[in-house]
Copies of this chain bind each other. A is one copy, B any other.
Amino acid sequence: MTDPLRLGIAGLGTVGAGVVKIVQRKANLLAMRSGRPVVITAVSARTRDKDRGVRLGEYAWEDDPVVLARRDDVDLFVELMGGSDGPAKAATEAAIAAGKDVVTANKAMLAIHGQDLAATAEAAGVALRFEAAVAGGIPVIKSLTEGLSGNEITRVMGVMNGTCNYILTRMQSAGLSYDAVFREAHELGYLEADPTLDVGGIDAGHKLALLSAIAFGTEVDFAGVQLEGIERIASADIEQAADMGFRIKLLGVAQMTGRGLEQRMSPCLVPADSPLGQLEGGTNMVVLEGDAVGQIVLRGAGAGEGPTASAVMSDVMDIARGIRVSTFGQPAGSLTRPTPAGTATPAPYYLRMALQDKPGALAKVATALGEAGVSIDRMRQYQHSHETTAPVLIVTHKTTREALDKALAGIAGTGVADGRPVAIRIEAV
């Protein structure tokens, strides 16, 4: 048995308390597996007097996480405060400067400052690991960085925001509107303080940017992620997509193309019977594709105390075991700066529009599509009921987004469709 690994934990919310519980309750198991005791020496949080359901009295307390990060009796700084800048970043930098290894669950900080922090950690000869930042308990960073290290990665996909997946699957199962389910999710405490982080796709976009960097050996480029949230998804789309054998998911896709690095986080249609299509509620799923391994699908809880603490402990145990891997799987200096692909890889699209009940209306739509070079795979016109417009659904053949936009403009020009048609990409999974 060698020296203990001494943790300093900053941030004692749900995840922090979960980590403390694991370290306290499984001391023997952790020591057996890593070959050395794993202990906590100091903790820090915004408020000291709060019942967190764990014993903290035996640990030194620091009000300032930066001071915690520099303590002599801390070998590994565990950053669980969150926020891309502010105390999290200051304390992480302080820990690195003081020669401490760092484990963080902070996707926002790494998506924005990951390149700099990784380079700094590398120069200081310390580890900076972040399994808990992506897809909760799923060991996706480890699988991609180490498990598939003999592969050229061809594509990474994922449903990585449980809240969005909860909203979309609940809209479908309960037949409720987006607004109704959004309120419900808010009441259940599923949403971030700023809900845009969830429903706007930002949180999931951060995670995608981190996976891209590892997969393609590129600098983290969150600004290069084409973001679209789920706010505009209507019940009608969910219902009618289902009717055509699809589900709507907030899906992240990253792939290296001849046009540069394509990173998208947006609502997509996927086949209802695919693993991604079958994903219900708050569960996360990541799909990794490599030239040797083919397709690997990983599924598990994307958030919550236990799963996220499990991921933090995976990094902690790696460090206890002496496992040292570059933050993004190769030296930070060798990551290349990606050129964002300006446009998305061609795909089929799902279109929904309200067509006026006039003779020749459908022909005009078909003509507009044809003139833009967009061909129709399937089409359904629904009953008019008592409206003066009829819902029309179209599934196109594979097309570029540019051609599609031209077609949508053409359709608008005919004056036979009310409002703006809905267009959602259909992803081949």
Contacts and interface: CB of A to CB of B under 8 A. Distances in A.
Interface stretch (A41-49, A56-64, A292-300): A292-300
Contacts of A316: 150
A30 interface: yes
Given A294-B307, A313-B292, A148 B139 contact: yes
Main secondary structure of the interface of A (DSSP, over half): mixed
A29 interface: yes
Contacts of A30: 149-150
Interface string A283-322: 0000000111111111111001011011111101110011
Contacts of A298: 296-299
A18 B297 CA distance: 22
Interface string A314-335: 1011100111111001110010
A384 interface: no
A257 B15 CA distance: 29
B290 A294 contact: no
A429 interface: no
Given A291-B306, A299-B296, A323-B323, A143 B152 contact: no
Q: How many copies of the polypeptide does the oligomer hold? A: 2
A151 interface: yes
B150 A318 contact: no
A142 interface: yes
Interface in A12-27: 18, 22, 26
A103 to B, nearest CB: 11
Interface in A401-416: none
A160 to B, nearest CB: 15
A378 B18 CA distance: 42
Given A296-B138, A323-B325, A314 B147 contact: yes
B148 A310 contact: yes
Contacts of A138: 296
Given A18-B292, A297-B300, A323-B323, 11 more contacts: A29-B152, A139-B143, A146-B146, A148-B310, A275-B275, A292-B309, A293-B306, A293-B307, A293-B310, A294-B304, A294-B306
Interface of A: 18, 22, 26, 29-30, 32-35, 131, 137-139, 142-143, 146-152, 217, 273, 275, 278, 290-301, 304, 306-307, 309-314, 316-318, 321-326, 329-331, 334
